Amino acid sequence: MLRDGRGHGRRSQVVKPTGPWSDQVRGTTVPPRCSGVIMLVRHGHVVAEGWWRPFSADRPHLLYSLSKSFTSTAAAFAAAEGLVDLDDTVVSHFPEFEADITDPGSRSMRIRHIAAEHPEQE
């Protein structure tokens, strides 16, 4: 099932994808006999979404390693906006967990390490 998200991020009617763009999407996504999810967002609005069994629009989907992309993007934006410094330790931004994080490697991890998706310190 593929939905057209025109309407400022609200899900609208189900549409059948047509044209060369939809052929490209079909050619790069998993076949319908496999499970999977696709969502395209532009300017903060869902422009297209699709899913195959056992997933649905209302079922949470585990992202696993994809969360690294979100974390690194958020870290880069926060640094660009002056909210954090790339050389800050990560733990310094979470004082409520500081006493619980005793591993020296974790305590020394810097924002630049997560922004680069490379947790190993130099």
pLDDT in tens, the chain (122 residues): 444 454 444 444 444 555 555 555 655 555 555 567 788 888 888 888 888 777 888 888 777 888 888 888 899 899 999 999 999 999 999 999 989 999 998 899 999 988 887 656 55
What's the whole-model pTM score?
Answer: 0.52
Residues 70 and 48 in one domain: no
Considering the domain boundaries, does residue 60 fall inside one? no
18 and 33 Cβ atoms separated by less than 8 Å: no
Considering the domain boundaries, does residue 8 fall inside one? yes
Residues 105 and 76 in one domain: yes
Q: Which domain range does residue 19 map to?
A: 2-52
Residues 45 and 76 in one domain: no
Q: Who contacts 116 (Cβ-Cβ below 8 Å, separation ≥6)?
A: 72
CB atoms inside a 10 Å sphere around CB 27: 7
Residues 70 and 30 in one domain: no
The predicted structure's pLDDT at residue 52: 76
The predicted structure's pLDDT at residue 12: 45
For residue 3, is it left (φ>0), alpha (ψ between -120 and 50) or beta?
A: beta
The predicted structure's pLDDT at residue 10: 44
Residues 45 and 72 in one domain: no
Helices and strands: H and E segment counts in the chain? 4, 3
Number of structural domains the chain divides into: 2
Residues 44 and 19 in one domain: yes
What token pair was written down for 11? 């899900």
Considering the domain boundaries, does residue 73 fall inside one? yes
Considering the domain boundaries, does residue 10 fall inside one? yes
The predicted structure's pLDDT at residue 45: 83
Residues 15 and 41 in one domain: yes
Considering the domain boundaries, does residue 61 fall inside one? no
